[in-house]
Amino acid sequence: MKKKLVIIGNGMVPGRMLERLYEQAPDLYDVTIFNAEPRVNYDRIMLSPVLSGEKTYEEIIIHGDGWYVDRNITLYKGHKVTQIDRKAKTVSTNTGETVSYDKLVIATGSDPFIIPVPGHDLPGVLSYRDLDDVEAMLLAAKSCGKAVVIGGGLLGLEAAAGLKEQGMDVSVVHLMPTLMERQLDEAAGHLLQRELEGRGIKVHTSSNTKQIVGEGKVEGLELEDGTILPASLVVMAVGIRPNAQVAKEAELDVGRGILVDGRMVTSDPDVYSLGECAEVGGQVYGIVAPLYETAKIAADHLAGVPCEAFKHTETATKLKVTGIDLYSLGDFGQGDDREEIVLRDAQAGIYKRLVIKDNKIIGVVLYGETSDGAWFNNMLKKGEDISDMRETLIFGQAYQGGAPLDPTAAVAALPDDAEICGCNGVCKSTIVDAIKDKNLSTLDDVRAHTKASASCGTCTGLVEQLMAVTLGDSYNPAAITPMCACTDLGHDDVRRLIKAKELKTIPDLMQALEWKTSCGCAKCRPALNYYMVCDWPDEYADDYQSRFINERVHANIQKDGTYSVVPRMWGGMTSSKELRAIADVVDKFDIPAVKCTGGQRIDMLGIKKEDLPAVWADLGEAGFVSGQAYAKGLRTVKTCVGTDWCRFGTQDSTGLGIKLEKFMWGSWTPAKLKLAVSGCPRNCAEATCKDIGIICVDSGYEIHFAGAAGLDIKGTEILGNVSTEEEVMEHVVALAQMYREQGRYLERIYKWAKRIGLDEIRSQIMDNAEMRKAYYERFVFSQKFAQVDPWNERVSGKDKHEFKPMADLKLEPAE
Amino acid sequence: MNAMTENWIAIGKLDDIPLRGSRCVKNGDMTIALFRTAEDQVFALEDKCPHKNGPLSQGIVHDGCVTCPLHNWVISLSSGTAQGADEGSTMTFPIKIEDGDILLSLDGNKA
């Protein structure tokens, strides 16, 4: 007979407790959950990204309905427990259910604190606590009116930034002189205020709310000094208080929260409490890391597994507003027995402060650049003596002991017990062991198995670096958010700044954007070179030393260091003359392998680098140009025979394919771009798994895009229908240019489309003729500089040095 | 270290190697890759990545390192050792530059 476990509340903490309990003792309890919210368990920390529109509710669900079904858990959604009868060991709800328990867990969380000023109960006054609040705010934001957020703490600022993202005119009213004063010192508070003001959020510090005004709904907010701030929405985010009501009524011991011992047991040995409603060791917690710790302890205790009692540890605070990096930890008040180390770079918006006592770090404030947070946190926790590295300490881990300036190496050097994920208390060795033991290769896998970076996500970069260190070759670095170790900027920021600051050379860019390395690395240089080529086609001089070898020598490097060569065959059409020329080249240069490619071309493999110019010279004489089979650029346009030959063909698919290829060849794109044109819906050219595909129909042409048939398999999406070849050209070229301008280097078109949104792309290319024409014109302009056959250039002597050894010591001994 | 070497072979001029680029020197079956960094330093390594023998001369040169074109291992130009978490090393050769002439010694070292 299983014991009955009843849980009041279905937030993140009891959710975590159940996960742990099912790991430790899967068959011990029958579980019943009462959730006052009509939902499953979702990640409340991620409400801010939902508000700002960066995530959807579905993306932040922790346990979907299936999770409860799989475990036979009875989940009452939208049922509020109104009474606990401890004698009878039952709970009753507002809907009339009564359920008995052997063990009860109270996880009722907290309620937002509502300041009892006049007008606080007007419609349009919201708190910021759950998904209902977020949905109400999103609805209010549709009006694009004015909003006031009361409270300049973590939640208030996230709400303000989110509402601003949604197009509202936002003011923040804060009682204290600086923002986030509990987490930030004055200087960082000012930097933060300046950043928010720069985004158009008005900040009123040292301001007290007198009343909320309005007739029947919110119309504004009056401050103590008489200032009136007009607003159609007021969000109160001034704090929370533990929701201990139901426990109090059941006569459990209650202080500020429900009193529990170090094992989360209340004054009744069969009743536990955890989460924001519980008070342990005199503390009530509101951040997830210590709460998850309480979940683990309660689960172990319920499972009858030995565990240590709860101990308080310092927890770092991070602000989840995109583009603002902020980290604070520990004690940063001033005092005679303390020293501090401060680094400021106003230009770059960086402020770092370490508070030191007895040669140990006791407080950390990082603003603008937070990558060393985990490292400082580790030293603080261990109480490490920092006297030896005092002079360079503030510069971070990468500057200690002459270690290279490489964050990946810095992560590799972290001790095994260094904490990587603060929210979930996951240390380095846990992640590394999971990656190795369970063969994890994606970030999602690591999140699923270890929980690292699964809550607020600010440690994602660290986890990815750990994956890179652990997995080596098999990890795909393109997935990392910062462009590379040389910068903290992501690709989108870099692309934006290239245009905004008119950065027209790679050295200029590295100077202006404060690259951390002197001349970049093999990840950022090719990306930057592409962005420059794309954005400044007439002004930028292509930097061949920043191109991957294939694009530098216009052939594909093979595993033995030889190359393969693929000449262009327009639309996949060839002739006896061309085939004869290829046969002659193969014989003359003793080329070991010849193969047909998937893009309807002929590939000659195993050519020695020194022979390349001569091979190209012969191919060039037969009329061939480079097939650019090596390029992050237009590759092939595959076609079927269409109306020329096929009894089903509806249009001249071959002719259209050749037209497209002749128009678009030579263009560089973020990743390779493969096209196909099929003459009828039978689709013999396989156009529906291409980057861009055309399906000819009787009435015209169906334009497809964003397909994939490589690492991922994905059918295309339909861009729209057009009726003439000219329209096909204009739409396809405009789409390619939009992708060229917005794509991240190495991001295939289907990934770009997923990120940007199909509707957005359709509205710009199909519905907005003006934008489409502008994209088209920019592509045409860029082609003026791009359509030069690279093979012919090299046959004529360009980059001669690439193909000849500098010296041959055995042939010509030095004089 | 270089001072001990007596047999210097002149192999060309500094300007024969593109800035942040590489050229090869053939020595029988062995190929030696010469690299010129952004700061005009020249280094010589055997043209073989310690990982899977990729031709390092075909890689991208950055900050005193070269990234192998086959699987992106990063090799230090001065020591020949793999950077980051990768382990392995490539033979290095002493170089000196006199009046723009590059002199190479075939006394290779392996870290």
From A407, which residue of chain B is nearest by alpha-carbon distance? Answer: B84
How far does CA A291 lie from the centroid of its chain? 25
Interface membership of A647 toward B (CB under 8 Å): no
Rounded percentage of chain A residues whose pLDDT exceeds 70: 96
Tell me the pLDDT band of A457, cut-offs 50, 70 and 90: low
Contacts of A59 (CB under 8 A, 6+ apart): A46
Tell me the pLDDT band of B2, cut-offs 50, 70 and 90: very low
* Residue-level pLDDT at B6: 67
- Residues in A closer than 8 angstroms to B36, CB to CB, are none
Among A672, A677, A682, A667, smallest CA distance to A703 is for A677
- CA end-to-end distance (rounded Å), chain A: 94
pTM, rounded to two decimals: 0.52
* Residue-level pLDDT at A240: 85
pLDDT digits (tens, 9 = 90+) for A240-279: 889 999 999 999 999 999 999 999 999 999 999 999 999 9
Q: Decide if pLDDT at A98 tops 50.
A: yes
* Residue-level pLDDT at A212: 94
Interface membership of B10 toward A (CB under 8 Å): yes
- Residue A571, Ramachandran bin (φ over 0: left; ψ between -120 and 50: alpha; else beta): left
Q: Decide if pLDDT at B1 tops 50.
A: no
Tell me the pLDDT band of A322, cut-offs 50, 70 and 90: low
* Residue-level pLDDT at A370: 83
Within 10 angstroms of residue A539's Cβ, the number of other Cβ atoms is 11
Tell me the pLDDT band of A406, cut-offs 50, 70 and 90: low
Q: Decide if pLDDT at A637 tops 60.
A: yes
Rounded percentage of chain A residues whose pLDDT exceeds 90: 53
Interface test with A, best of B13, B16, B63 (most A CBs within 10 A): B63
Mean pLDDT of chain A: 89
Lowest-confidence range among A381-390, A751-760, A765-774? A381-390
How far CA A306 is from CA of A24, A296, A303, A309, A612, in Å, comes to 11, 11, 9, 10, 70
Q: Decide if pLDDT at A404 tops 50.
A: no
pLDDT digits (tens, 9 = 90+) for A722-758: 999 999 999 999 999 999 999 999 999 999 998 888 9
- Residues in B closer than 8 angstroms to A553, CB to CB, are 58
b/e map of A293-307 (b: 16 or more CB within 10 Å)? bbbbbbbbbbbeeeb
Lowest-confidence range among A415-429, A482-496, A785-799? A415-429
Interface membership of B70 toward A (CB under 8 Å): yes
Lowest-confidence range among A433-442, A711-720, A740-749, A767-776? A433-442
* Residue-level pLDDT at A2: 87
Q: Decide if pLDDT at A233 tops 50.
A: yes
Interface test with B, best of A487, A511, A519, A815 (most B CBs within 10 A): A519
| Average confidence (pLDDT) over A555-573 | 95
ipTM: 0.89
| Average confidence (pLDDT) over A283-305 | 89
Interface membership of B100 toward A (CB under 8 Å): no
Lowest-confidence range among A58-72, A728-742, B57-71? A58-72
* Residue-level pLDDT at A620: 94
* Residue-level pLDDT at A478: 47
Cβ pair A375, A410 in contact under 8 A = yes
Q: Decide if pLDDT at A320 tops 70.
A: no
Q: Decide if pLDDT at A589 tops 60.
A: yes
Q: Decide if pLDDT at B111 tops 80.
A: no
Q: Enumerate long-range contacts of A429-435, CB under 8 Å, 24 or more apart.
A: A431/A463, A431/A466, A431/A470, A432/A466, A432/A470, A435/A466, A435/A467, A435/A470, A435/A471
Q: Decide if pLDDT at A762 tops 70.
A: yes
- Residues in B closer than 8 angstroms to A805, CB to CB, are 23-26, 31
Tell me which of A625 and A287 has the higher pLDDT.
Answer: A625
